[in-house]
Chain A
Amino acid sequence: MADEVLFELLHSELVSYVLKNSEKDKKHGDLSTLEYVGFSAGYRIIERLTKEWPRFKDELDTMKFICTDFWSSINKKQIDNLRTNHQGVYVLQDNAFRFLTRLSAGRQYLEMAPKYVAFTCGLIRGALSNLGINSMVTAEVQSMPACKFHIQVQRI
């Protein structure tokens, strides 16, 4: 009932807290702490979410799981668009990303958008890492509230 709002407010406070702390000792605009927090959270939550699921057949299957069940259990909606080049690059598009819908509709506050997607980038990276896929996740926001997550799978 109230838990959606709770997570959003907590996330906003987390972002402002991390940025205030990093302003004191390190350089400006350091989002790596936020990303690491997301990574640990994603790593652990995937353990709980996939408790009863069978092993995924392949990478694409894992990505589909992330787009549907994972995203809907965290953000109450699914990813709107998944694209891949079948060479390890995936693009997940969410047309109404939950932390950006309240910020603006369009271009205002665009420079603040990266701060609010860093946690979720880490979340995806952590989830994939515990499922056995090492990757690099970045986000691209052109016009709020739509957001694209670029996942680059690292194969050794």
Chain B
Amino acid sequence: MYGMLFSLKSFVSKISPLDTKEGFLYYKTSKYALHYFETPSGLKFILNTDVNAQNVRELLQQIYSQVYVEYVVKNPVCNMKEPIKSELFRSKLDAFIKQSNVFVSRPM
């Protein structure tokens, strides 16, 4: 997945006629949309959503500042290079997504 996103990112920056401020934001297919957010420190956040989701970039930014930084960066046990095993991070992330208005449980 990393290779695909890296190529997409460089492709978008080359093909764009104007100078891009933010670069690659998301791609949409008929079934899902993949949203991408990169921080200045090189961390990449990827979220797969429904085709109709709005304001996901803001959501990703909030997840970074309110959940990731709080419960992973400030956690002395979490090593930056390993996958995150903290249960607290998982539950806080879950709670955060559920109370955001991007998450809507709609009967299919």
Contacts and interface: CB of A to CB of B under 8 A. Distances in A.
A116 to B, nearest CB: 7
Interface string B48-81: 0000000000000000000000110011110000
Contact of A8 (B71, B74, B77, B88): B74
Interface centre among B71, B75, B77, B91 (most CB of A within 10 A): B77
Given A102-B70, A102-B71, A16 B88 contact: no
Contact of B87 (A12, A16, A108): A108
A81 interface: no
Contact of A109 (B70, B77, B91): B77
B87 A9 contact: no
Interface string B80-101: 0000001110010000000000
Contacts of B76: 12, 15-16, 102-103, 116
A9 B74 CA distance: 7
Interface of A: 5, 8-9, 12, 15-16, 102-106, 108-109, 112, 116
Nearest to A15: B76
B87 A106 contact: yes
Nearest to B76: A12
Nearest to B87: A108
A102 B75 contact: yes
B95 to A, nearest CB: 11
Nearest to A115: B76
A12 B91 CA distance: 23
A9 to B, nearest CB: 7
Nearest to A14: B76
A105 B91 contact: yes
